[in-house]
Amino acid sequence: MCLQPLRAEKPEVLVNAWQEYQFLSMETAEIYFKQALALDTDPQYLLEAKVGLAMVNQYKEQGQDLETAKKLYTQVLEQDPPTEMRQLIFSFLADLHLSQGEDEEALELLDALIAECANSVIGQDALIRKVILTMGPYGSEESVAVADEAVSLIENLSIEPTQARPYLIPLISSLLGGIYFWADDFEQSLAQSEIFTTLGNAETTSYGSQYAALYQMAKIYELELNQPEKAGVYYRRIVEDYPNSNISYYALEKAIEFKAMTRSEVEALRLPGVTPEILTELFTIESGEDD
């Protein structure tokens, strides 16, 4: 947990507690957090230890004690903690309420986070959870209304996400793109998927999710909008950027079919398994000379 600078050095036992927590050694982490709480140290380190102890009670796989976690979080909030710590507690409490079926209480906390810190990862995580919580079935009018609200919020953020620092914008766009797709709003689905594939990459999202998004965009242009030239652009991107995907050969066939790639361009890529004989066959089929 990253907090405001303090005068005193963080106690070693608190450092050890967080290390054990990260390694999911919850029993050991609990012992260390309790030891940290007994120290004579900076009061904000004591608050941090109390938050850590609450997190152990909330998230350990066995022996969860949600009431104790809630009590500890409440005690910290009553002591006017730093802003970042308070926001984290709101996020954890939202999880806690959701796990107990208390959706309204969770939604109140998520709304507070979105209103206060939508420019941050924690606020954007709250937005994702709110969309999932309130959207209803895919394809419903309710889901579209929730997506529209989220798009409006994202468009008015005062940040400039980049591929190097995308925040959670790619994940939000992926979620919204799916909502619009199942509502047959293909233009909006494409717009959100474009954001996902432009800001996201295999490291910040995943290799599979990236080429899957490109594939879906290609299919929308090909089958729903009847724009094969644009479909070919996205099939080409799969071939060039994700040559090891399980759809790269199919994408190659389609890119050639829609004249998005020339033979020399394909040859320059040196795709694994694509021999000169295969290329001759593919370009012969595309030209209609196989009869």
pLDDT tens by residue, 66-92: 999 999 999 999 999 999 999 999 999
Q: Is 136's pLDDT higher than 90?
A: yes
Average pLDDT of the residues of the chain:
94
Mean pLDDT of 125-129: 98
Q: Which of 40-44, 67-71, 110-114, 141-145 has the lowest mean pLDDT?
A: 40-44
Q: Structural domain boundaries of the chain?
A: 10-60+68-78
Q: What is the average pLDDT across 107-127?
A: 98
Looking at residue 202, what is its pLDDT?
Answer: 85
Q: Are 13 and 28 in contact (CB under 8 A)?
A: no
Residue 127 has pLDDT above 60, yes or no: yes
pLDDT at residue 290 greater than cutoff 50:
no
Q: pLDDT value at position 263?
A: 95
**pLDDT tens by residue, 177-204:** 999 999 999 999 999 999 999 999 888 9
Provide mean pLDDT across the span 104-109.
98
First to last CA, the chain: 67
Nearest 5°: the CA angle 253, 205, 112 is 140
The pLDDT of residue 2 is above 60: no
Which residue in this structure is represented by tokens 């907090």?
Answer: 3
- The rounded distance, in Å, linking the Cα atoms of 251 and 143 is 31
This prediction has a pTM of 0.89
Question: Whole-angstrom Cα distance, residue 187 to residue 71?
Answer: 47
Q: Where are the beta strands (DSSP E) in 135-203?
A: none
Q: What percentage of the chain carries pLDDT values higher than 90?
A: 92
